[in-house]
Amino acid sequence: MVSRVVFGRGSFNQLGDIIAPKRLNTKAPFIFLVDDVFKGNSEITSRIPLAYDDQLLYISAENEPKTSQVDELVEQIILNHKDRPSGIIGIGGGTILDLAKAVAIMLTNEGEAKNYQGWDLVKTPAIYHVGVPTISGTGSEVSRTTVLTGPEKKLGINSDYTPFDQVILDPELTNGVPKDQWFYTGMDCFIHCIESLNGTYLNAFSQSYGEKAYELCKEIFMDASLTQAEAQDKLMMASWHGGMSIAYSQVGVAHAMSYGLSYLLGTKHGIGNCIVFDHLEEFYPEGVSMFKAMKKKHNIQLPQGLCAGLHDDEFDIMINVALSLEPLWENAIGKTWKQVITRSKLKSLYQKM
C-alpha cells in the first residue's frame, strides 16, 4: 500500500515541503516527470519546486508507456546526473504515474524493464517515488502495478516496491481534463468496481472498497446536483477506492479484452474499456445497463467498427493477448472459465466492436 498520502484542494502546494527531507544531497536531484499537456501552463509548472540539479522532463501521454521508453528514460537520467536521484515525482494521469513508478524501480534494478513484467520479479527496493494524479479513475496512484507494453506482452510490473511512497491528491489539478477523457478514465474506475464486485476473487477487503467506489461513481455520473468541485473530489476518492478494491481481487472480462485491443490497435485503456464493456451485458447485466445510462446522460459517442476489416491473424493476436490474462478470466467466470471462454466466443465479441 501507499505509505503516505495527503488530500485536499490546493495540497499540491505542499510538494516542496514534503519532498525536501527526502533530498539525499544537493547533487542527487529530484526528477519530475510531467505530462506535456501542462507545458506552458504556469498555474501548474510554477508550483513545481525545482532546486539544485533537479530536472523536469515533459512526457507525452499520447501513447501508453512502453518498456523501451522506461529504459530510455532511465539511461537519460543516469547519463545526465552523477549521483543517483533523490526521487522521481510523476505528475499526470495513469500514463505518467506508471512511467514514474517503473523508472523508480529500474533505477535500482539491473537489466531491462521487460524482464520485470510479471509478478514479484523486482528484488531491490525502488528509489523514493511520489505520484500526483491530474485525472482520476485508473487507480494507478494507489496500485502495486505499473502497466507496460513490452516487445512480447502488455503486462504490469507487479511488486511490493511498485506503489508510491507518497501520493498527493489535489482534485483541483483535474480542472482542465476534457469531458470525453473525464468520462473514459472515470469509467475505468466504474469498471474496476463492477469487475471486482462481480468476481469470484471477491473478499471483504476488496468488497468494502469496491462498494464505496461504486456508490461514488453512481453519484458522480448520475446525480446532476453535485457541483464541479464536489464531483472532482469524489472522483479522486472513487479512483483510490476502486484501485484498492482490485488490489485485493482482480479485474475481469472488459480488461482482458481491452488489453487485446490495446496491444493490436494501440487503443488507450480508458476508451478501450468503454468500447468493450458496452458489449458485455451477458457477463455484467446491471453494470452494463448503468454504463449505458451514464453514457447517454453525458452524451458520449463511442467509436464503432474498430474491428471491422481486421484479418483472422489480427483477431488471433487480440485473442491470444486476452486469453493470456488467466487470473482475470478466473476471477470473472470461475475455475472452469476455459469451458465458456473459447476463441470463437472472443472473436464474435470483438467483431461487434
Binding site residues, Zn ion, CB under 5 A: 188
CA distance 258 to 353: 11
Q: Which residue is nearest to Zn ion (CB)?
A: 188
Options 114-122, 210-218, 265-273, 279-287: segment touching ligand NAD (CB under 6 A): 265-273
28 versus 106: smaller Cβ distance to ligand NAD: 106
Task: Please say which residue, 53 or 188, places its beta carbon nearer to ligand NAD.
Answer: 188
Q: Of the two residues 29 and 133, which places its CB atom closer to ligand NAD in the complex? A: 133
CB under 5 to 8 A by kind: which of ligand NAD, Zn ion, none does 61 bind?
ligand NAD
Q: Does 61 bind ligand NAD (CB under 6 A)?
A: yes
Residue 186 interacts with which of Zn ion, ligand NAD, none, CB < 5 to 8 Å by class: none
Contact pick of 139, 163, 199, 260 for ligand NAD (by CB under 6 A): 139
Instruction: Please report how close the Cβ of residue 192 comes to Zn ion at its closest, in angstroms.
Output: 6
92 binds ligand NAD (CB under 6 A): yes
By a kind-dependent CB cut-off of 5 to 8 A, residue 270 interacts, out of Zn ion, ligand NAD, none, with ligand NAD
Is residue 185 part of the contact set for ligand NAD (CB under 6 A)? yes
> With respect to ligand NAD, which residue has the nearer C-beta, 30 or 263?
263
The only residue of 11, 19, 23, 98 in contact with ligand NAD, by rule CB under 6 A: 98
173 binds ligand NAD (CB under 6 A): yes
- The residue ranges that bind ligand NAD (CB under 6 A) are 35, 37, 61, 64-65, 92-96, 98, 134-135, 137-140, 143, 145-147, 173-174, 176-177, 181, 185, 188, 268-270
